[in-house]
Amino acid sequence: MNLVLLRPDEIDGGEARLRDRRAAHLRDVIGAGEGSRVRVGVVRGPRGTARVAAARDGNGDVVLSLDALDQPATPRPPVDLVLAVPRPKALRRVLQSAAALGVGRIDLVNAWRVEKSFFHSPVLAAGALRDELIAGCEQGATTWVPDVAVHELLMPFVESSLSGDDDRARVLLHPHAGAAIETRITPGHRGRVVAAIGPEGGWIDRELATFEEQSFAAVHLGERVLRVETAVSVLLAQIALLRRL
């Protein structure tokens, strides 16, 4: 945890009382005691520092006294993800990595090769999804918590929500695509990007065609075939580098 992320409603009179895993982490992992200073941020808000006013009060809570929230909020990251739902254990890692690296929004979608049982996993509950994203933001020291939505019907989502009426660059990851990502996201690109990543077995032809109808270009990240959790991190890293060049 590189940033203690606070909800606005947790702050009262310049203090925040923690009684969950954050309190345990501060006490047992970081070893923060009374008087220690830690980095804090407010969800979708500013960042700053806080002093540990009480490391173990009568209820075992940790009380933080906010010093100053004088650093700006993390701006919305320029990349949105459309992600075919992976295995639940992998999904946890994907959500944390994506939030740490920075994405604006994640749409979790169905696909022909997605196991239908995945949609009954408790990991897809709204609270569980948010918990994983919060953990990723704490690791990446960012206050932008991505929006997330689950769509059990792929085609209606693509045809309505990705109808091509915005100016985002659109890429669809496919290991056998003929073009590399830099042919679509050129060095120095400053606009927004929406990237679609399929299931472990890849998108089927009909799904590829549906995305292409909405101006998505099939691209690859290199010659290797990657697991979904690896592909997400590689994708976001490559886009970040291309934007900096």
**1 with 18: CB under 8 angstroms?**
no
The CATH code of the domain at 79-244 is 3.40.1280.10
Q: In the prediction, which pLDDT does 200 show?
A: 87
- Stretch 6-25: mean pLDDT: 93
pLDDT in tens, 124-157: 999 999 999 999 999 999 999 999 999 999 999 9
CA dist 100 and 103 (Å) reads: 8
The fraction of the chain above a pLDDT of 70, given in percent, is 98
Give residue 99's Cα distance to chain centre. 3
pLDDT in tens, 185-242: 999 999 999 999 999 888 999 999 999 999 999 999 999 999 999 999 999 999 999 9
Residue 180: helix, strand or coil by DSSP? strand
CA dist 168 and 107 (Å) reads: 15
Q: In the prediction, which pLDDT does 175 show?
A: 86
| Span(s) in the chain for CATH 3.40.1280.10 | 79-244
| Span(s) in the chain for CATH 2.40.240.20 | 4-71
Q: CB-based contacts of 12: which residues, under 8 Å, 6+ apart? A: none
Residue 22: helix, strand or coil by DSSP? helix
The CATH code of the domain at 4-71 is 2.40.240.20
pLDDT in tens, 58-97: 567 899 999 989 999 999 999 999 999 999 999 999 999 9
Q: In the prediction, which pLDDT does 93 show?
A: 96
Segment (H or E) for 190: none
